[in-house]
């Protein structure tokens, strides 16, 4: 059977075969956990990682599954695969999976800006899923982009977003296990009065009790690759190719949960009251916005291990009624990666069953 015919036929929820590629990483493990927690309608689940992890156990609900090796895995036996690999590995293995007739949701940046591949935040642009059915490939956005897209889409619908200035404060889990281990190691040494050797995971700069204004490599423009992801991905997801986006991405010594200070300018006037009401009603958003100590979300108190995108500090621009300032927080591994991927899959299943 030709792959394109396999992709277009209805999925059988009683025999849906699913794989998580990169199942031993932070995002992969969280995808497995969320599939179990949300009772995703699968019949069989394959967990796949590098050959070094082959045979290792990983829990899935009440069961224990064993890791299979990526280099010998047969994608023809799978209906849907979640990819949680580095970009270079996705570039190599994703075409093998789609050529075998497997639907793929890829978490890397490899295909995000491909015009033929939908870049999907289900609360924002689920309608674009239909564009990816023929190729069988769907891209999961960057962790900060997902949370910001949900909030900005809501406000764009109200008043016509024209420009957004963003400063992100991103947790070390955005750098994977190496990031978590680097912060733990450095913090322990610093608290014990020992010297710290800068970690390559953070551009050769100490992360413990520090703030680093660089995430990913610099581009000729002076912006980092992480910052340009925000620009390009927000434009694509919001279907606003000329949207003005001015980003700064900062790594902070927090384990889980990205935050962002956002200044948005609109075509029409927009009061904090109307913005707050719209965000309260928005899917996937939780507003915590009280003028009291602690009356706002933080990564530790609200973001970590939660599925919602949290918004607070909603206030008018001091100079114009067409501007708002906001504070946005979300768990970068859950909603910023794993949950969004599973939500894409849930929408696909509804389309194809």
pLDDT in tens, 312-328: 999 999 999 999 999 99
Cα distance between residue 202 and residue 216, in whole Å:
9
Looking at the structure, tell me whether residues 102 and 149 fall in a common domain: no
Could you give the C-alpha distances from 107 to 155, 299, 341, in angstroms and in order? 26, 22, 8
The domain in which residue 72 lies consists of 3-141+337-352
* 3-state DSSP assignment of residue 226: helix
Q: Which of 24, 30, 13 is nearest to 339 (CA)?
A: 30
> Are 227 and 207 a contacting pair, CB within 8 Å?
no
Looking at the structure, tell me whether residues 90 and 188 fall in a common domain: no
> For the chain (length 353 residues), average pLDDT per consecutive 10?
48 87 97 96 96 95 95 96 97 97 97 98 97 96 98 97 98 95 94 88 92 97 98 98 98 98 97 98 97 97 94 97 98 97 96 88
Tally the domains of the chain: 2
Q: What per-residue confidence (pLDDT) applies to 11?
A: 77
Looking at the structure, tell me whether residues 137 and 202 fall in a common domain: no
Question: What residues act catalytically?
Answer: 143, 258
Could you give the C-alpha distances from 99 to 91, 93, 235, 309, in angstroms and in order? 13, 10, 29, 35
Q: 103: which DSSP letter? A: E
Looking at the structure, tell me whether residues 297 and 286 fall in a common domain: yes
Looking at the structure, tell me whether residues 155 and 259 fall in a common domain: yes
Cα distance between residue 350 and residue 353, in whole Å:
6
Looking at the structure, tell me whether residues 159 and 119 fall in a common domain: no
Q: What per-residue confidence (pLDDT) applies to 227?
A: 98
Looking at the structure, tell me whether residues 22 and 91 fall in a common domain: yes
Looking at the structure, tell me whether residues 222 and 344 fall in a common domain: no
Q: What per-residue confidence (pLDDT) applies to 200?
A: 82
Q: What per-residue confidence (pLDDT) applies to 10?
A: 67
Give the CATH number for residue 8. 3.40.50.720
Two tokens at 169? 């404060």
| Positive or negative: CA dihedral 254, 207, 27, 123 | positive
Two tokens at 270? 């927009």
Q: What per-residue confidence (pLDDT) applies to 6?
A: 46
Predicted TM-score (pTM) above 0.75: yes
Looking at the structure, tell me whether residues 103 and 127 fall in a common domain: yes
């Amino acid at each position: 059977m030709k792959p394109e015919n396999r992709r277009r036929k209805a999925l059988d929820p009683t025999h849906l075969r699913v794989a998580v590629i990169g199942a031993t990483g932070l995002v992969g493990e969280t995808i497995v956990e969320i599939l179990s927690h949300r009772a995703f309608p699968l019949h069989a689940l394959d967990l796949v990682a590098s050959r070094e992890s082959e045979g290792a156990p990983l829990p899935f609900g009440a069961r224990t599954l064993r890791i299979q090796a990526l280099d010998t895995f047969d994608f023809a036996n799978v209906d849907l695969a979640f990819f949680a690999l580095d970009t270079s590995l996705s570039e190599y293995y994703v075409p093998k999976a789609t050529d075998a007739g497997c639907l793929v949701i890829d978490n890397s940046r490899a295909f995000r800006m491909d015009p033929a591949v939908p870049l999907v935040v289900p609360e924002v642009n689920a309608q674009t899923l239909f564009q990816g059915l023929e190729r069988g490939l769907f891209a999961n956005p960057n962790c900060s982009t997902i949370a910001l897209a949900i909030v900005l889409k809501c406000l764009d619908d109200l008043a016509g977003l024209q420009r957004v200035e963003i400063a992100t404060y991103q947790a070390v889990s955005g750098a994977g296990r190496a990031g978590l281990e680097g912060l733990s190691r450095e913090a322990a040494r610093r608290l014990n009065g020992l010297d710290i050797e800068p970690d390559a995971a953070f551009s050769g700069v100490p992360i413990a009790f520090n703030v680093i204004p660089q995430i990913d490599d610099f581009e000729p423009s002076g912006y980092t690759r992480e910052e340009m992801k925000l620009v390009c991905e927000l434009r694509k997801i919001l279907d606003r190719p000329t949207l003005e986006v001015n980003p700064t991405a900062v790594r902070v010594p927090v384990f889980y949960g990205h935050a962002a200070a956002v200044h948005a300018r609109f075509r029409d006037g927009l009061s904090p009251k109307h913005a707050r009401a719209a965000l309260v009603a928005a899917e996937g958003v939780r507003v915590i916005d009280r003028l009291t100590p602690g009356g706002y979300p933080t990564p530790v108190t609200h973001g970590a291990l939660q599925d919602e995108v949290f918004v607070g500090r909603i206030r008018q621009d001091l100079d114009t009624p067409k501007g708002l300032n906001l504070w946005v927080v979300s768990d970068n591994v859950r909603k910023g990666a794993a949950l969004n991927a599973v939500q894409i899959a849930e929408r696909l299943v509804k389309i194809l069953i």
